[in-house]
Amino acid sequence: MKVLVPIKRVADPANANKVKVAGSEVSHDGLEWVMNPFDEWSLEAALRLTEDASAKTRTGEIVVVSIGPKAAVDTLREAMGKGAERGVLVDGEDTALDSNVVAQILAKVVEKEQPDLVLMGKQSADGDSNIAGTKLAELLGWPVINYASHIETSDDGKTLTIKRELDVGVQTLKVQGPAVITCSDRILKPGTIKNGVTPADFEYPDLGDLNSRLSNLKNIMAARKKPLDELGLGDLGVEPVRVDEYVGFELPAGRSGQAQFLESVDELVQKLQSEAKVL
């Protein structure tokens, strides 16, 4: 199975307090870049789909693709250090991307790569638009399933049984590949991916606060030698059109007030009633 995993680099959400905005621009100065956590979930899912976890061998191929400046190579190498086989970097400016541009570029990469599946984040941690995956499927004429929590492949790998956890319960869908799938964080739980190769009783470790597995030394060293193609938009024959126009950014208002220690539960209830007016 060949899986394409698009990966965006985003300013580290843990340092959101360092973001500076000026009019219609967000300044990237001084920020640290990390892999979009939503994409990391999909990378982890893709790794589990294409390996025999028990024998620790790779059984399929993962191509990670990113759109960004040269420095985004680091993000791709990081993904390859976790196990992805190849990388593709499409030259672009972080600030010049919107969901439509991303979908149009990715559609061309998909045409070139012909994967069995595109697994991507349901959104990016910076823009939170939640559009690119669906838009990509639309451009490709492929089915799209968002917020997958479980993925099971048929014996020939062509049919996927996917569960989505919704407020009303769990929905199970069957889909013929190729397809675009976005994942929810439930996908990181043990037992959510069945690929017919990893033994059913294999127990993946709990990832805790991590968004994907840690890389190990061997993979990091190997990742340096894995193929990484750098493409311009011309190479893909695409002139993406941006449809969103950023008019302005504002930082959220600073937190008002401070934590207060109360003497009793009664006092808390009273304050919730009279001051917060939530009871």
Partner 1 sequence: MAQPINRYKTDLRDYSFLLFEQFKLQDVLGAEPFSDWDEETCNTVLSQVYEFAKTVTGPLNRVGDTQGCRLEDGRVITPEGFKDAWKKLYDAGWRVLGAPAEYGGMDAPTSVAVLSDELLSGSNTAFNMYPGLCLGAAEVIAEFGTDAQKKTYVPPMMNGKWGGTMCLSEPHAGSDVGSATTMAAPVGDGTYKIRGTKIFISGGDHDLADNIIHLVLARIEGASAGTKGLSLFIVPKVRVDGTPNDVQVTSIEHKMGINGSATCVLEFGEKGECVGELVGTVEHQGMRQMFKLMNFARIGVGIQGLAVASSAYFNALEYARDRKQGSSIKEWKNAEAPRVAIIEHPNVRRDLLMMKSKVEGMRALITKLAVHQDRLRAVEGKDDASVAYHQGQIDLLTPLVKAYCSDEAYRVCETAIQVYGGAGYLKDWPVEQYARDSKIFSIYEGTNAIQAMDLVGRKLGQGGGKNTQTFLGEIQKWIAAHKDDADLTDAVANLQKAHEAVGGSVMQFLGWFQSGQMPNIVLMAERFLHMMSKLTIGWLLLDGATIAAQKLAEGGLSARDQAFYEGKKYSALYYAKNIVPEVIGDAKTLRACDVSPVQISDEAFGPA
Q: How many residues bind partner 1 (CB under 8 A)?
A: 19
33 binds partner 1 (CB under 8 A): no
77 binds partner 1 (CB under 8 A): yes
- Shorter beta-carbon distance to partner 1: residue 217 or 241: 217
Which of 13, 30, 190, 191 forms a contact with partner 1 (CB under 8 A)?
Answer: 30
- Shorter beta-carbon distance to partner 1: residue 209 or 263: 209
Q: Which residues in the 188-247 window bind partner 1 by CB under 8 A? A: 205, 208-210, 214-218, 220-221, 224
- Shorter beta-carbon distance to partner 1: residue 29 or 93: 29
54 binds partner 1 (CB under 8 A): no
- Shorter beta-carbon distance to partner 1: residue 47 or 107: 47
78 binds partner 1 (CB under 8 A): yes
- Shorter beta-carbon distance to partner 1: residue 132 or 223: 223
* DSSP codes of every residue in the chain: -EEEEE--EEE-GGGGGG-EEETTEEE-TTPPEEE-HHHHHHHHHHHHHTEETTTTEE-SEEEEEEEE-GGGHHHHHHHHHTT--EEEEEE--GGG--HHHHHHHHHHHHHHH--SEEEEESS-TTT----HHHHHHHHHT--EEEEEEEEEE-TTS-EEEEEEEETTEEEEEEEESSEEEEE-GGGGSTT-EE-SSS-TT--PPP-TT-SSPPP-HHHHHHHTTS-EEEE-HHHHT-------------PPPPPPS-----S-HHHHHHHHHHTS---
Instruction: Give me the residues that bind partner 1 (CB under 8 A), please.
Output: 29-30, 32, 74, 77-78, 81, 205, 208-210, 214-218, 220-221, 224
